[in-house]
Amino acid sequence: MSKQDDVSIWMPIYIGDILAMTTRLTTEQVGGLYLLMMDYWKNGAIPNDTKIIGAITGLSSSKVKAFIKTITNIGIFSIENDELFSAYLDDKKSQATDNKNSKSEKAQKAAQARWNKASSENQQNESASIEHTPSNAQAMQTQCPSNATNMLEQCPSTSTSSINNTHTQQAYDSQNDKAEQIRLERSQEIQDWQAPTLDLMRQELSQAGFMGVLTENIYQTHIKDFKAHYAEQALVGKPLNTDSLRKSKLRLWIQSAKPPKQAKPNQKLGDPNDPLAVNQKWRPGETGIVAPNTNFEFIDGQLVATPLDTSSPVQGAW
């Protein structure tokens, strides 16, 4: 990459992405992450070495290990061949380079057009000077048109301005159409994205301290809702462009989701298995249950239970 195309002197910060991925980091870790991101943006892959990372971030050796685990969990960095890589930053740098190259090409074309125009005018002037060298009188007649002609030449037609406005509007419409097409493509990419398997997501959630239960049905529901939400976000210019960023966002989505409510089993009062059931029929041999339609009387100092005569209009007294 030439110095002209180098974008290492500046790094774009997407506030929404960074805030979403750093909610579980301490203030010290956020500062260390920014320093690590800037070093990666400038120099590329970073050795997975405690001393080197500590020197970059200013963190002590005891804090570096926890820091590395945290930043790999949120998806900004990953470890490959004992080096820290960032697919997220690589994608942003590629976009920045493309944008800079596009602007540079446009500037070069505009400068070349101006140069060609100036060169053409100089050649025409030189040719006119050679062709028109008659006597002074003849030159004066040629170079002194009437006032009316001067006025006509100095008052350009409004049609030129109209044509320029039309070209400007066409260019603006073309840019809008292209931007809309890109947003639609980003939205479709989210809908077609292949989410991690249930086992892989459970593993990442466990490393992040998630204690909830994630079944296949619940996971598929999360994926469906996640894709619908971020497909809409892509349509308004907020896409998730990298696979690692989508995985990280999906994990945070599941972590922040409320657990589904468990339906309470229906309990019928009076069921024979209910310890609080009342008015159950008495079964011989059971104690503690009194048969209905029973009369109690004291006979010779003892409490005696006798069945009531249900055919009588007056029931027994207590």
Average pLDDT of the chain, as a whole number:
78
pLDDT for residue 95: 86
pLDDT in tens, 122-141: 777 766 666 555 555 555 55
Q: What is the pTM of this model?
A: 0.34
pLDDT band at residue 316, thresholds of 50, 70 and 90? very low
More reliable by pLDDT, 10 or 88: 88
Domains of the chain: 1-121 (1.10.10.10), 190-256 (no CATH)
pLDDT band at residue 178, thresholds of 50, 70 and 90? confident
pLDDT for residue 156: 56
- How far apart, in whole angstroms, are the C-alpha atoms of residue 37 and residue 193? 26
Asked if pLDDT for residue 209 goes beyond 50, the answer is yes
